[in-house]
Structure 1
Amino acid sequence: MEADRVVAAIERYVFQSGEEIESRRDWPDAVVFHAGRHYYSSRLADWLIGWESWVEYAVQVVVSRTFADNDAYTYGLLFAHGGDVLFLNDVATMRELGRRLDVDLDPLAYAELLSELYSVKPIDEPVVLPNAATTLHRAGELVRDVNAFAADYPWVDAALVAVPAVRREDGAVVLEFFSCHYYITGLRALDVLRWRVSGGGGRPASWEREYVAERLEHI
């Protein structure tokens, strides 16, 4: 991970107007700094897409702008071999990325990105701003295993979800999966979403999603 390259991308895509870096610290796999009262933490992401041959590395940026619950925002940056940087919160960029489905992009890797960065309301703006409960939580999560989901969220009926499914339909890759978004309402709360994504075969991705359940709360 090249710290200066990562910081330049954050300044370009994530910074708010007037922000300037203060008290920066670099590690081999992370860069953290303050910009005014905002705290930025950028680390090598553990996303599946980081294993694709054309990807140099992926970075997850978490920005804490207040000490309030649900006010930690996640951004995704993808650094490709050759110098290109993809801003994954940009809807048009994510749709174009979907052209690579089942060519040089694992469908589950794509589902993982949508789950983490697009499981919030709304996602119809040019740039999606996914918020997490705290800086220690993900903004969204792909449901990979029903038993693991039940263990993580025991107050939620696991029958609501299923494992991801991938198939081909009319020359495109069709991906169906579930994601969830954890947040705090005073209690612990979870939204569960069902997705249908189509892309690949030279086509940008399109997606539909619906809320299977909203604000499932637990003490």
Structure 2
Amino acid sequence: MLVFVACLTLVTALVSGFLIITRSPTDLGHAGHSDTAQWMSAWKAGEIVALVRHEERCDRSTNACLGPADGITKLGSDSAASIGRGFVNLGMQQAQVFSSPLTRTMQTAQYMFGEEAVAQDWLEICGPTFRNDIAAHKTAQRNLVLVTHSGCISDFEKQTGYPHAIPAAYGSALLMRIDAKGDLKVLGILNPDAWAQFKKQ
């Protein structure tokens, strides 16, 4: 009996440790009504920052490329346009859009919103100050859409308690809330297929 209890305790500890080590932000595409209502309310208040990973890279795909070679694929541009419609349905009247200056991020932003985003070098470099850089660029009562890279999103996750999160998928958006006091809270991730559920506000 003691051996059984010891084994059960060990298995429980291993499973719990694995879940803690590999935890990722909540998948908002499968969140309950109250979680969805919470972040949508924060969007209306201009308190959301969305870290969006650029779309599918030409140099890592056999899909047709828009050109140039360091840009995104045609499939990626279609997905970016769909994600952009999701953001527009939420309302972009009180939102700023910044992008890393690299071709793949600038193209993603262009296909999302039909116009060039403001290029920001800090969205390419990222690193250990990335969380603070995001907070410093957030204007009160203005949502912020940042088109960036998986490595940058990973840097942010490490700095906010998710050191072993699943890598960001193409076009995924990591949402956070920065309230009037400047307090930052990670809300979760919206993958590209989740945007279709949000109708025009």
TM-score computed with the length of structure 1 as normaliser: 0.27
| Higher strand proportion | 1
- The structure having more radius of gyration, on CA atoms, is 2
| Higher helix proportion | 2
TM-score computed with the length of structure 2 as normaliser: 0.28
